[in-house]
Structure 1
Amino acid sequence: MPFASDPTVTYSVGDFHVEGKQNGPARLRVSRAVYDQTSFDATYGLCDPGPPLTPWESIKSYGRRTVNKARSKRCNASSFYRGLVRWIPFIGWIRTYNIRGYLITDFIAGITVGVLNVPQGMAYALLAACPPVTGLYTSFFPIIVYFLMGTSRQCSIGTFSITSMMTSRMVLNANPYPEKLTFPNGTKYTNPEFHEIINGSAFTRGEWGAIQVGSTAALFVGIWQLILGLIGAGGMSVYFSDQLVQGFTCGAAFHVFSSQLKSVFKLPMTEFYGSFKLIKTWIQFFSLIKQTHIPTLVVGIICLVFLLIVKIGINDNKRIMRKLRVPLPAELVVVIFGTLASYEMDLENNYHVSILKKIPMGLPPATLPDFGVLPDIIGDTFSNAIVGLAITVTLGMLFASKHGYRIDPNQEFKAQGIGNIFGSFFQCFPSGASLARSAVQNDVGGKTQIVSVVQCCIVLIVLLALGKFLEPLPKPVLGAIVMVSVFHLLAQVLQLGRLWKLSLYDWSIFLVVFLGVLILDVDIGLGLGVGWAIITIMLRLQKPKIGALGRLPGTDIYRRTDVYKTAIEVPGVKIVRIDSPIYFANVAYIQGRIYQLADLNNLIAKWREEHPVKELITPASFDVAPDDQNKYAYALNLELGDSDDEDGTKGSSRYRGAPTISMEELHNTQRRVFEQEGILGEGQDQPIKHIIVDCSEICFVDVTAVGFFKRIQSECESIGVELLLACTNKPVRDALYQCGANDFIKEFQVFVTVHDAVLYAVNSHKFQKPSTHTKLSIVDGNSNGILHAYTNGLAPQSPVPRPGLEDVIESPEEEEVRSEGQNHFREKEHRL
């Protein structure tokens, strides 16, 4: 809303004036020259006035700057410390850690997340087709690295449902000791080596093979992530929009949920891979549902119901959480009671319910991954790396914006990559940021990664002392934990209805990636979604918004005539704004729209009919009726504000003797002038003599775009229409210059603002009468301000001849009115 101030006060700085008006908007008065781009740059001092560099010169310049920067660096303690802080941010932020303000909340959040991490880690390990204890390893070793190197303060690194599910495909495909072997005739039988206990180990050969595949996958996932961080690929994260991530995680959540049907119902289901995996899984589920193991299902349903009640009724209830402050650890509760019930009732022997069995105590020894499985998993490791990075960076940016700090995507890539590499030597599978645990860490009040230290301590206690007590834990309990953990991701499908009302493009991105992941596969769907997101960007740029602009009455502001009802087009001038870059894919569309808006095709056809021999008409002198000339001169009074006059009359003039004229009168006056010249027949509209392209929204152009400007300039020139550019930024001007546009677009055809271009166009209309005067004065018809355009100079103090602005539209009587208005304005400046 415009500000109001004392009507007797005028604020003035040079030629810029703001007059306060009680109970109304402030009035702006500007007195300056009409600038083309060249005169503007010369007047106000362009920083780099030379010609733009060629691509080769830019490369050499960048190389010289890089070398000089490297030479200027000195290896000393200060530079070493800065480099160390960049790689290990912990060294920087721990020095300013607020012990009193953060330590208690971080400690509480660490205990809460650690308690949640223990059951989730084991559950996601089963999801990854690895022994449950490897989930605890993955919840410990990578977190230590992220605590030192990560830049997000709320992300909880460790096991995650989607990356675990993607790991399971690699494990099941590349395990050197598969559970099932296939005869040449296609029949399958159980591999006796799969369940054989390795001497001196707590694992069977099948489990050890899964560990080897998982650790090798973690190693190369980490290598991919580290490489991406080193080459500065963090900028890629901008292509993972919220809708893309939501659609992907929602589709992947259906895969995660479906993968637990086997453990909750204890059905002899086989794993499917590739396209239509989810459809085949559900078809198989319904075909085998009669073989459901009832005791296992009962255990699973009890856990599901309890977890949902606590999650929906308590932890997600804002009114209850205001009193509790800390969410109830429902997962820990079902693990404890499930383990006790299994131990007391001997569920494995009495009811044949599957349990975890032996869990090795202590920390694992460091071992090298098995590189023999690498050819079978190398492609999947890259997609796993991309998914893990996308989710981690997206979560980090979300929490950073919420809490007012910034993360470094490249450093996040390095931190997660080195964390996975480090964990691969300790039987870990690929890790990532968990959506559920990160949300809990933020909601409980975690402020820094000190939460990770406390979390690691909880996991370490379980590994060193409590692991053997979890051996009776039923597997359907862990399956229920996984199912409930993705409920909030499944609920994201409801976003489709909201996005449909907001944006068709965003809706389509969500739908494409969601269906791609759901129907095809996780990695295929992600690639499809990224590809479609890029295509939507191309579609938006290929057919940009292009519209005609008109002046808003009482201002020097130009807006689209189809958006603002009061926007009036300047007669004889067509102003077009292009709301996108101009490049090879949209040149044809933009050219067609400009021709349509300016009706150039009809003008060209009519010109060719009337002038069989192509020629240019130069302005000639002709007589104009004095009244029309006087009216036209005052028609240029561009009002700088619509306010009630002192006598209460709307839009009346304070300058006695200064007539006002409406746009309709101006249109009629110009029509009579053109009819006198013989250009227009009676009843015809004024033809377009100038086309102004508002380039304020054009951020770049390519070589094809320069050809477009050349074509339109050539065709406009052939029919006597002048092309003007306004509001071009320096990169666009440099691109035009490098491509030779200065051969056909002259310096005086490029203007600083649309209003400058309009003044030039109006003054150069050929029905104006020549004179020896050199100053263009535009007097506000409402007496709210005066805009002086010194047409023969860059500024009043430094006159420089300007081509094309040598006509006068100010009579002696008008100059007297203008002087009176100036005196009146100066008097108001001194009222204070």
Structure 2
Amino acid sequence: MSLHSVSTHYPYSPGRTTRAGPSWWDRRATGGSRGRGGSSLGPGNTRRGWAAARSCHFVRSPRPWRPWSHTEPRPAKRGTSLPRPRPRAGPEPPGRPLGSPQLLPRRLREAGRRAEGRGGGGPARLAAPGPGPSAGRRLGGEAWGRAGAAEPPAAAGSRAEPVLPAAAGGPVAVLEMAATAEFNSVRSVAEVPEGDDAKHVFHHRMFLEPQEEKRNLKALMVKRAKETCSCTPAKVKDCVFSFFPILQWLPKYKLKECLLGDLMSGVIVGVLLVPQSIAYSLLAGQEPIYGLYTSFFAGIIYSIFGTSRHISVGIFGALCLMVGQVVDREVQRAGYDLEAATVHAHTDTVTHVNTTVVPLNQTSQILLCDKTCYAIRVGATVTFIAGVYQVAMGFFQVGFVSVYLSDSLLSGFVTGASFTILTSQAKYLLGLDIPRSSGVGSVITTWTNIFRNIHKTNICDLITSFLCFLVLIPTKELNEHFKSRLKAPIPIELAVVVAATLASHLGKLRETYGSSIAGEIPTGFLPPRPPEWNLIPNVALDAISIAIIGFAITVSLSEMFAKKHGYTVKANQEMYAIGFCNIIPSFFHCFTTSAALAKTLVKESTGCRTQISGIVTSLLILIVLLVIAPLFYSLQKCVLAVITIVNLRGALRKFKDLPKMWHLSRVDTVIWIVTMASSALISTEIGLLVGVCFSMLCVIFRTQKPEAPLLGWVAESETYESLSAYKNLQTKPGVMVFRFEAPLYYINKECFRSTLYKQTGVNPAQVKAAKKKAAKRMLRHKEAGSGGNQTSISLELVSEPLGFHTIVIDCCAVQFLDTAGIRTLKEVCKDYKEIDVQVLLAQCNPSVRSSLIRGEFFKEGEDHLLFHSVHQAVDFALGAQEHNGTCASKN
């Protein structure tokens, strides 16, 4: 390694330059004595010392040298850092002799002593001192000096490079050995001007040594297989503890610090969850008791498998709606009326009083249950399949699927689903007895049926709905407005449910006004039952979207609150957790679950510390299931519908955020609007698919026509920025810097080519065509013997210089190249080369470099066209052009 590599690490080491010129160390290493006397390179040879310094040190920017003042501070005491000299105008100071090793930084002195003590060979060790010019290493060249070896002859017409003496204990030797020992990862080469390669003398190339090649895929797979299949007690223990996180945090549970907060948050969430579970059961097309079952099992199972301490897992409106649509479709396909019906099947006789005979199913067996029984079987089956999908995604570690669901897409989907939920609950508000619509355009169909039957509105249900809205909405607003002052939110939903149940029971609203009520809610648990395997082909496709939505919402909420409270969650373990929250409860007559934002916010704000809070919530629901559930017999369905609609306020409020979202990102706003509209007007499943496809198209469109500006140089720096975005930028004469801010692949290859031609103002194909046309015209006129003067003038006009000789393409934003991109780069370089314009590439990442090498972009000896920085490429272009001009003038 040469001396100038040290300059990138030590601010006052050789090679560092300032606005005023080389540093004190440069002159210390190359000049003579302060007053009279000679330099270390020979008596009075100060000028040659400066030439050596300029030839061997890496200059960061091509700034002109300015002389320093004679009154330059001397170094401080031994072992201390050197003060930075202030630049002053004045004549060039006389040289200084090489100082003793104590003037070097302590780190370099120690490294030099270690290198000398080892006494080994290699590039860090200089040749032994002796007579002859080959006693030391030639600085600024490629070859090392060898003792007794003849020094390579200098190129014809060039000055002989100075050779520094390699004294055994001198500071130059110490500096050389220390620099090589400390910074062996960077290799700097100064090309020797020899023959056609003389143009490279103006640029000191810096090459980075690549890492060792990675193992091939087969060896990597074998290694992974051995690591996976190996079984040790410690590994088994870690596997069990990671799969059951409760075994990690439960033994460390701090009763005094966490128990009170967990108890309070668990009770409050349970009080809110009981009425919502009953209300959301109607949304899923199930009886109220099944919503309580779902909330009970989800809380306990997630506490065992989950890694988040704060999210509340249970029923979620959008998923309940998606499950309800599948249930309605399958119930109708099985031959059940969408209204209440009961089938009494007997082995010997069939009674047809108030019954509906069910046709044969796909297995040619008679269904021995009524509509509600068949509905929960469908719901449990789709829940089981969704859970299997989620566990499979966790096993194969494909959690990356959720990255395709952006925040704007999820927000738009939830808002669109909220419209569908509101539409499905509107008939309960009015007390209308109309069938539930499903499929494409269900929102429009439902509102059409509502307006057709508006004259059948039940006045009792309408008044009850209005009174419940009048109580719930203001109280919910107060809870949100004063949440910082309230220790716990007011359980207004539970109070409304209790009051409405008492009013309905005491006023006999069903018998008197025909109000629709919840009906009988049994106590205890039904015996477990496996899913209907013959229904799996019918619901397997629907379960995919349900599984992805449930996982995406759960993981996003868990990561949000984990980041807020300073702990980490595992995305794949969250997949397992939410998957088992669907698989296990599906055997106990439950439907799909996921995390819910509203209940999670309540849980976090009321002092939740661990997953014990979820267990407390489940215990409270268990008490309701065993004791209190039958008391909700007289509860009106319109009250449950009001609770469901009021809880949609958060999703519907997203319309207020549209102006701000439009100001931040118009593309995200369009994605939100498209997803919301398709989810509301078409269907939730199709809306989700439309949103994903549209967001991907937006990404493709962004890369199809990216920004591609010309860059200018920021004065007194090595930075290049967009000329269209910033003022006061400078351009280098004859060099144009172009940046393409997207990957270069088959979609945007033509955009790259056309934008480059437009920004540079030169289309090589047109220039070549114009030259050929002018040459043919001149040939015809010569043959005709007339118009030679005009033809020569037109040819001169065509042959005018282009105004630039080099194009530097900044590839810092090009993440990857495909075959079409590599071919496009080859064609561009070839076209510009034919009109005497050189194309250089700068700041290519390792992936792009590898693609260029595999695509044979560089011919033999052309790898110098690839640079690690734009500044290096520009310096190379300017130096090469200056050298070519000098050679042309000599010729």
**Length-normalised TM-score, structure 2:** 0.70
2:819 matches 1:703: yes
Partner of 2:858, secondary structure, is: helix
Correspondent of 1:129 among 282, 285, 296: 285
Amino acid at match of 1:129: G
2:805 paired residue number: 689
2:576 matches 1:414: yes
Correspondent of 2:855 among 726, 739, 745: 739
2:834 paired residue number: 718
Q: Is the CA contact 2:388–2:583 (under 8 Å) kept in the aligned structure 1?
A: yes
- Counterpart-to-counterpart distance in 1, 2:840 and 2:293: 68
Query: 1:567 and 1:237, CA in 2 relative to 1: closer, same or farther beyond 3 A?
Result: same
Partner of 1:401, secondary structure, is: helix
2:641 matches 1:479: yes
Q: Is the CA contact 1:38–1:747 (under 8 Å) kept in the aligned structure 2?
A: no
- Counterpart-to-counterpart distance in 1, 2:522 and 2:570: 38
2:64 matches 1:65: no
1:556 paired residue number: 718
Range with greater deviation from structure 2 (397-406 or 326-335): 397-406
Q: Using CA pairs under 8 Å that are at least 6 residues apart, name the structure with larger relative contact order, 1 or 2.
A: 1
Q: Deviations over 1:491-512 (max 9, x none)?
A: 1123332222222211111011
TM-fit CA distance, 1:62: 3.1
Instruction: List aligned pairs for 1:482-497, cutoff 5 A.
Output: 482-497=644-659
2:241 paired residue number: 85
2:417 matches 1:228: no
**Length-normalised TM-score, structure 1:** 0.75
- Counterpart-to-counterpart distance in 1, 2:798 and 2:517: 96
| Structure 1, unaligned runs of 5 or more | 1-9, 21-29, 183-189, 197-202, 615-678, 772-805, 809-832
Range with greater deviation from structure 2 (30-39 or 408-417): 30-39
Range with greater deviation from structure 2 (93-102 or 366-375): 93-102
TM-fit CA distance, 1:82: 1.4
2:61 matches 1:32: no
Partner of 1:269, secondary structure, is: coil
2:274 matches 1:274: no
TM-fit CA distance, 1:148: 1.2
Query: 1:463 and 1:70, CA in 2 relative to 1: closer, same or farther beyond 3 A?
Result: closer
- Counterpart-to-counterpart distance in 1, 2:217 and 2:508: 73
CA RMSD for the aligned pairs?
Answer: 3.4
Query: 1:144 and 1:684, CA in 2 relative to 1: closer, same or farther beyond 3 A?
Result: same
Partner of 2:839, secondary structure, is: strand
2:336 paired residue number: 178
- Counterpart-to-counterpart distance in 2, 1:144 and 1:173: 31
Query: 1:710 and 1:499, CA in 2 relative to 1: closer, same or farther beyond 3 A?
Result: same
Query: 1:135 and 1:49, CA in 2 relative to 1: closer, same or farther beyond 3 A?
Result: closer
- Counterpart-to-counterpart distance in 1, 2:746 and 2:188: 31
- Counterpart-to-counterpart distance in 1, 2:291 and 2:548: 21
2:170 paired residue number: none
- Counterpart-to-counterpart distance in 2, 1:49 and 1:164: 53
Q: Is the CA contact 1:152–1:407 (under 8 Å) kept in the aligned structure 2?
A: yes
Q: Is the CA contact 2:186–2:207 (under 8 Å) kept in the aligned structure 1?
A: no
TM-fit CA distance, 1:354: 2.0
2:668 paired residue number: 506
Q: Deviations over 1:255-303 (max 9, x none)?
A: 1111111212110222222221111111221221111101111112111
Q: Is the CA contact 2:765–2:831 (under 8 Å) kept in the aligned structure 1?
A: no
Query: 1:374 and 1:63, CA in 2 relative to 1: closer, same or farther beyond 3 A?
Result: closer
Amino acid at match of 2:293: Y
Amino acid at match of 2:552: A
Query: 1:70 and 1:206, CA in 2 relative to 1: closer, same or farther beyond 3 A?
Result: closer
2:498 paired residue number: 336
Q: Is the CA contact 1:571–1:686 (under 8 Å) kept in the aligned structure 2?
A: no
Query: 1:683 and 1:137, CA in 2 relative to 1: closer, same or farther beyond 3 A?
Result: same
Query: 1:729 and 1:422, CA in 2 relative to 1: closer, same or farther beyond 3 A?
Result: same
TM-fit CA distance, 1:364: 2.5
Q: Deviations over 1:168-209 (max 9, x none)?
A: 122222235723599xxxxxxx9933699xxxxxx9822212
1:205 paired residue number: 370
TM-fit CA distance, 1:128: 0.8
Q: Deviations over 1:687-724 (max 9, x none)?
A: 21111111111111111111111111111221111111
Q: Is the CA contact 1:300–1:476 (under 8 Å) kept in the aligned structure 2?
A: yes
2:84 paired residue number: none
Correspondent of 1:216 among 374, 381, 394: 381
Amino acid at match of 1:48: Q
Q: Deviations over 1:128-187 (max 9, x none)?
A: 1111000000001122221111122222111111111111122222235723599xxxxx
Partner of 1:406, secondary structure, is: coil
- Counterpart-to-counterpart distance in 1, 2:249 and 2:849: 44
Partner of 2:711, secondary structure, is: strand
TM-fit CA distance, 1:600: 2.8
Q: Is the CA contact 1:89–1:149 (under 8 Å) kept in the aligned structure 2?
A: yes
- Counterpart-to-counterpart distance in 2, 1:695 and 1:503: 26
- Counterpart-to-counterpart distance in 1, 2:357 and 2:463: 27
Partner of 2:804, secondary structure, is: coil
TM-fit CA distance, 1:769: 5.6
2:295 matches 1:139: yes
TM-fit CA distance, 1:732: 1.0
Amino acid at match of 2:814: I
2:320 paired residue number: 164
1:793 paired residue number: none
1:117 paired residue number: 273
2:767 matches 1:605: yes
Q: Is the CA contact 1:607–1:719 (under 8 Å) kept in the aligned structure 2?
A: no
Amino acid at match of 1:337: A
2:847 matches 1:728: no
Query: 1:477 and 1:744, CA in 2 relative to 1: closer, same or farther beyond 3 A?
Result: farther
Partner of 1:425, secondary structure, is: helix
Correspondent of 1:284 among 441, 449, 458: 449
- Counterpart-to-counterpart distance in 1, 2:452 and 2:860: 74
Query: 1:341 and 1:64, CA in 2 relative to 1: closer, same or farther beyond 3 A?
Result: same
Larger radius of gyration: 2
Partner of 1:689, secondary structure, is: strand
Instruction: List aligned pairs for 1:316-335, cutoff 5 A.
Output: 316-317=480-481, 320-335=482-497
TM-fit CA distance, 1:541: 0.8
2:173 paired residue number: none
Q: Deviations over 1:764-794 (max 9, x none)?
A: 11576649xxxxxxxxxxxxxxxxxxxxxxx
2:708 paired residue number: 546
Q: Is the CA contact 1:178–1:191 (under 8 Å) kept in the aligned structure 2?
A: no
Partner of 1:66, secondary structure, is: helix
Query: 1:611 and 1:208, CA in 2 relative to 1: closer, same or farther beyond 3 A?
Result: closer
Q: Is the CA contact 1:195–1:206 (under 8 Å) kept in the aligned structure 2?
A: no
Query: 1:310 and 1:13, CA in 2 relative to 1: closer, same or farther beyond 3 A?
Result: farther
Q: Is the CA contact 1:680–1:686 (under 8 Å) kept in the aligned structure 2?
A: no
Amino acid at match of 1:145: I
- Counterpart-to-counterpart distance in 2, 1:754 and 1:471: 77
Amino acid at match of 2:217: I
Query: 1:553 and 1:248, CA in 2 relative to 1: closer, same or farther beyond 3 A?
Result: same
| Residue correspondences, number | 670
| Structure 2, unaligned runs of 5 or more | 1-8, 20-55, 62-141, 143-184, 190-204, 341-351, 359-367, 777-794
- Percent of counterpart pairs with the same letter? 30
- Counterpart-to-counterpart distance in 1, 2:606 and 2:452: 44
Q: Is the CA contact 1:195–1:205 (under 8 Å) kept in the aligned structure 2?
A: no
Amino acid at match of 2:871: H
TM-fit CA distance, 1:91: 2.1
Q: Deviations over 1:468-503 (max 9, x none)?
A: 222222211111110101111111123332222222
Instruction: List aligned pairs for 1:458-477, cutoff 5 A.
Output: 458-477=620-639
Q: Deviations over 1:510-567 (max 9, x none)?
A: 0110111111000000000000011011011111111111101222211111111111
Q: Deviations over 1:788-815 (max 9, x none)?
A: xxxxxxxxxxxxxxxxxx999xxxxxxx
Amino acid at match of 1:232: Q
